Amino acid sequence: MYKETTIRRIGNAAGMTIPKKMLERHNLAEGDKVFIVETEQGLLITPLDPDFAQAMQLYQEGNKTYRNAMQELAK
């Protein structure tokens, strides 16, 4: 789904509105933090921190490889 919106001046910055139904569908509300990521296709607005997501992926890969060692360290 796509929706057109307009970038407006907000003080010395700029912002845009997100339709209420899109906010609800993605469990977003006023005051939530989002990340803007530049991609080859344009801008991606996401509530997920890309650095955190990458760190979690690395953790999961390491956890699979070293599962037994991690269990021993946890004792």
Residue 24 tokens, joined: 């609800």
**C-alpha distances in Å from residue 70, one per residue of 27, 60, 73:** 34, 12, 5
In a domain, 23, yes or no: yes
* pLDDT at residue 1 in the model: 74
In a domain, 2, yes or no: no
In a domain, 52, yes or no: yes
Indicate which CATH number applies to the domain containing 70: 2.10.260.10
Q: How far apart are CA 45 and CA 54, in angstroms?
A: 17
Spell out the per-residue pLDDT of the chain, length 75, in tens. 788 899 999 999 999 999 999 999 989 999 998 888 888 989 888 887 767 777 777 777 887 888 788 778 888
Helix (H) or strand (E) segment spanning residue 13: strand 13-16
| Total domains present in the chain | 1
Q: Which domain holds residue 32?
A: 7-74
In a domain, 1, yes or no: no
Q: How far apart are CA 14 and CA 43, in angstroms?
A: 15
In a domain, 45, yes or no: yes
